[in-house]
Amino acid sequence: MPFFNLTSRGGGTGVIGGRSRGVKSFLLRQVITRGYLVGGYINSQPWTNVNYIQHSTDSAVDQGNLISSAGGYIGSSHNANRHFVWNTGGMGGYSTASSYNMRTNVNTGDFSMPQTYDDSEGMQSSDPVTGFGMMAYVFGNSTTISKFNLATEGFAGTIGSSALNDSNAGHHYGENYGYVWNGSGTTTKFTYATEAQSGVASAANHHQQKGHSSKIGFGWAGNEGSYNGGNAFRKWNYATDSVVSNHSKPIANSGEENLDMGQAHAYMLGMFDGAQNNRAWRWNYSTDSGFEGSSTMQPRGSGISGRSSGACAWRD
């Protein structure tokens, strides 16, 4: 899928369309260098811990307990600085949101959501110039989608009649569209510009087969399995709303994965393979393949021996 740099249209320094502040491709508006993992659980014990993964070195770094309310089966969204974590407070079924600053590694408090969410996901549109998050859409309530303005950092209402029709969700997303699926793999396409929902082919097998998003026009999500048992990805084309190929996961028998997004590659940081764990992989977009990382790549934290069903964010 081509990306066009619109820097040739008139204007000088400081003018959108000029060479200093031209509209760059989706790939290059924000160059991702670091991914973040928050929360997750083992044996019904959820965490408040945060780790980041440095994309240039494949190395995870523990940031300590940065959110006020622990969460397993959580979702999240983020802008350039803050990571907003949906339905924290325990193991699903909450209306509390938690947050922290990815630049300063400081807890920035809890606040209330408009609805109670169970196993949520947050997909988001991005600013067409900066690439930073603009509007987030929170799924994981059987009837309602919540809108969160990432610029003003506050909820901006709800969208009723969620086509997901389920309180559990998996997802991945690109520049103009997001895709969310339920426990049977039934998939809804969400168009940011119109906030319209439409049914498409199945992008994944189960809501606990989570998705890798990308900036290159494709997403990857579990081809089979449920809470675990996933051995392969479905590669989804955002331009054609279809599965184009299947590829082996770097770790077989996986589910409940915590997946970030990157420029050329992405990471999985903790999942469920029959037990919650801290295993990790790197996924290379261009080759549709990856590898399991050593202990250096694995998320860590005092007393945390596993963390599936957490939530991820990323920053430049």
Report how far residue 146's alpha carbon sits from residue 166's, in angstroms, rounded to the nearest whole number: 14
What is the C-alpha to C-alpha distance for residues 156 and 137, in angstroms, rounded to an integer?
10
* pTM for this prediction: 0.93
pLDDT band at 104 (very low <50, low <70, confident <90, very high): very high
Q: Is the pLDDT of residue 9 over 80?
A: no
207-266 confidence digits (pLDDT tens): 999 999 999 999 999 999 999 999 999 999 999 999 999 999 999 999 999 999 999 999
Structure tokens at 37: 């993992």
Residue 15 has pLDDT above 70, yes or no: no
> d(Cα 156, Cα 160) in Å, to the nearest integer?
13
Q: What is the mean pLDDT of the chain?
A: 93
CA dist., res. 139 & res. 142, Å (int) = 8
Does residue 37 carry a pLDDT above 80?
yes
- Residue whose structure tokens are 């021996």: 305
Give CA 245 to chain center in angstroms. 22
Do residues 144 and 187 touch, judged by C-beta distance below 8 A? no
Cα–Cα distance between 58 and 72 in angstroms, integer? Answer: 24
pLDDT of residue 118: 96
Residue 257 tokens read as 């994965």
Q: What percent of the chain has pLDDT over 90?
A: 92
Residue 7, pLDDT above cutoff 60: no
Confidence bin at 23 (pLDDT 50/70/90): confident
Determine contact, residues 229/244, Cβ cutoff 8 Å.
Answer: no
Query: What is the enclosing helix (H) or strand (E) of 270?
Result: strand 265-272
Give 47-72 pLDDT, tens digit per residue: 999 999 999 999 999 999 999 999 99
Report the 10 Å Cβ neighbour count for 160.
8
Per-residue pLDDT tens over the stretch 253-288: 999 999 999 999 999 999 999 999 999 999 999 999
CA-based nearest residue to 83, from 23, 30, 35:
35
Euclidean distance between CA atoms 66 and 37, whole angstroms:
11
Per-residue H/E/C for 168-232: ECEEEECCCEEEEECCCCCEEEEECCCCEEEEECCCCCCCCCCEECCCCCEEEEECCCCCCCECE
- At residue 21 the predicted structure's pLDDT band, cuts being 50, 70 and 90, is low
Mapped onto helix, strand or coil, the DSSP state of residue 257 is coil
User: Which domains, from first to last, does the chain contain?
Assistant: 1-30 (no CATH), 31-315 (2.120.10.80)
- 110-154: per-residue pLDDT in tens? 999 999 999 999 999 999 999 999 999 999 999 999 999 999 999
pLDDT score of 10: 31
DSSP 8-state symbol, 81: S
SS3 state of residue 299? coil
What is the structure's pLDDT at 22?
A: 64
* Block residue for tokens 């389920």: 166
Beta strands 170-173 and 154-160 are unpaired
Of the two residues 13 and 308, the one the predictor is more confident about is: 308
Q: Is the dihedral of CA 46, 49, 52, 57 positive or negative?
A: negative
Q: What is the DSSP letter of 125?
A: E
